[in-house]
Chain A
């Protein structure tokens, strides 16, 4: 029996439920050990209009069952992104969504306008949840009006799929989720990293130069799962689950808890083959239960 692994995230059909998360996969060109057949899609490293140097080292530190990062959205700017990668993406057999970032609402709109219609750009993931930039980022993610304004600004400039990546650093993710849904988002990605901190006992100061960083890895998985589930309960648009997924079982938890697809991120650092192993593991799980497709997987999603 061949299991049908296709999933729909809004109008976008993916050949598999596992997507490479932004910032853990570069621009898709530097993961030689990965079997690309397993990729449902890819979210490119977050981009701003202009080039950004990123934060000084140390940028990462290991913490119990996870890691803190403060990369600061280092990147070449949107023009170089289009010049160097878009044509390549257009030749791939899975969609690439571009993770877009701005310091103001209008910058998000400008990025969408610049990228809309570029062959190879299949959609957008609006990042309103990066904890590692001084301007914008998290600010847009924890104010429902700002989150909606950013989503509207992007929506006005494109008919491509618009996903919005939510921050966990809110008191009620449902409020933000509904605001973004009303503003025209096609899907939500829940959740980005949690803000954390670690102290160097020799230097008596934070280990990260940026003081704080985004916590990822299995340390956040139960928290992320709960928030993705809460978001899925709050809206009618699909939710893509992300946060600490290392293995097949973790991905299945997010799918059963109401997610249409999942993103795998930090796991790729530890195991460059994680995405393929999780994809194949989901297929094996479905087959072992006599299920013919992901759509047949039982879901636990009582509505709000």
Chain B
């Protein structure tokens, strides 16, 4: 785990309102695994905010975000050269060890976040990669989905399959998913053994505050920031995990 004051090096738009920020964080870039995250200190916000690492390019890590509250809006207004406090890598990522012949990546909206790293790691471990990416409409689809096969899904049918990414996805030896918790609950029904990256509020990111509690189907809670954020889909008690996180702060 590293705590860095890291300069932003670039920003780019990958869908309507969805942007990727590159951050120079060599210690994190060289150690992060797919599904792990960083906690960023955002101007105007009090607590850090968790972001899956989207891609790694040399010494730089990338995160993907939309403006959903004052903190993310402020982050998106930062410019190359501005420094940001970056804590990571945090959490327990996907298990993509060699063995499966094929992997299906299922992402909804900002759920693209951990997928490029996962696709790269799975490819390196000999898997055929199918990435199924869904959004409400074609202009909200992340343009950077890659794989041996890419399947698009839109709620309004403006591109690819009409419906959500779960419905559009084929089966595979291994399924991983990220997106709204409601979508992940549907993943759990279809593929109990899928690995899913959940979304929670988070306080510290380091395991001490117990704020990011994930309810387990065997009872009790554990921590998205430590044991998670990646879980076996059937291990999560989806009826208790909030389906919608209102991130906006009122002042």
Do chains A and B stick together as partners?
yes
CB pair A69–B211 under 8 Å, yes or no, is: yes
CB pair A25–B208 under 8 Å, yes or no, is: yes
Asked if A117 is an interface residue, CB under 8 A from chain B, the answer is no
Asked if B78 is an interface residue, CB under 8 A from chain A, the answer is no
Asked if B111 is an interface residue, CB under 8 A from chain A, the answer is no
Distance of A192 from chain B, by nearest CB (Å)? 15
CB pair A269–B204 under 8 Å, yes or no, is: yes
Contact with B along A41-58 (1 / 0, CB 8 A): 000010000000111111
Partner of B210, one of A32, A33, A71, A203: A71
In the bound complex, residues from chain A placing their C-beta under 8 Å from that of B204 are 24, 268-269, 272
Which residues 1-47 of A sit at the B interface, judged by CB distance below 8 A?
23-26, 30-33, 45
Which of the 9-residue segments A59-67, A105-113, A169-177 touches chain B?
A: A59-67
CB pair A69–B203 under 8 Å, yes or no, is: yes
Q: How far is the CA of A56 from the CA of B243 in the complex (A)?
A: 13
In the bound complex, residues from chain A placing their C-beta under 8 Å from that of B250 are 64, 198, 201
The chain A residue sitting closest to B87, CB to CB, is: A272
Q: How far is the CA of A14 from the CA of B92 in the complex (A)?
A: 36
In the bound complex, residues from chain B placing their C-beta under 8 Å from that of A58 are 200-201, 242, 245
CB pair A64–B3 under 8 Å, yes or no, is: no
Distance of A265 from chain B, by nearest CB (Å)? 9
Which range contains the number of A residues in contact with the other chain? 35 or more
Which of the 9-residue segments B15-23, B41-49, B162-170 touches chain A?
A: B41-49
Asked if B209 is an interface residue, CB under 8 A from chain A, the answer is yes
Asked if B207 is an interface residue, CB under 8 A from chain A, the answer is yes
Contact with B along A265-298 (1 / 0, CB 8 A): 0001111110000000000000000000000000
CB pair A56–B208 under 8 Å, yes or no, is: no
Q: How far is the CA of A30 from the CA of B221 in the complex (A)?
A: 18
Which of the 9-residue segments B55-63, B112-120, B151-159, B212-220 touches chain A?
A: B212-220
Given A57-B242, A268-B204, CB of A71 within 8 Å of CB of B3: no
Q: How far is the CA of A271 from the CA of B208 in the complex (A)?
A: 13
Interface of B is mostly: loop
CB pair A268–B200 under 8 Å, yes or no, is: no
Q: How far is the CA of A227 from the CA of B209 in the complex (A)?
A: 25
Among A53, A55, A198, the most chain B Cβ lie within 10 Å of the Cβ of A53
Distance of A29 from chain B, by nearest CB (Å)? 9
Q: How far is the CA of A179 from the CA of B215 in the complex (A)?
A: 40
Q: How far is the CA of A25 from the CA of B249 in the complex (A)?
A: 26
In the bound complex, residues from chain A placing their C-beta under 8 Å from that of B220 are 53
Q: With contacts A57-B241, A67-B46, A67-B203 known, what are 19 further pairs, Cβ within 8 A?
A: A32-B1, A54-B213, A56-B215, A58-B200, A59-B210, A60-B202, A60-B211, A64-B46, A65-B46, A66-B46, A67-B47, A71-B213, A74-B221, A201-B246, A217-B46, A218-B46, A269-B48, A270-B46, A273-B3
**B-side interface residues toward A, CB under 8 Å?**
1, 3, 41, 45-48, 85, 87, 200-215, 219-221, 226, 240-242, 244-246, 249-251
30 sampled A-B residue pairs with Cβ under 8 A: A24-B204, A24-B209, A26-B207, A32-B1, A32-B206, A54-B213, A56-B215, A57-B200, A57-B201, A57-B240, A58-B200, A59-B212, A60-B202, A60-B209, A61-B201, A62-B45, A62-B46, A62-B47, A62-B249, A67-B47, A69-B203, A74-B221, A201-B250, A207-B246, A269-B48, A269-B204, A269-B205, A269-B209, A272-B3, A273-B3
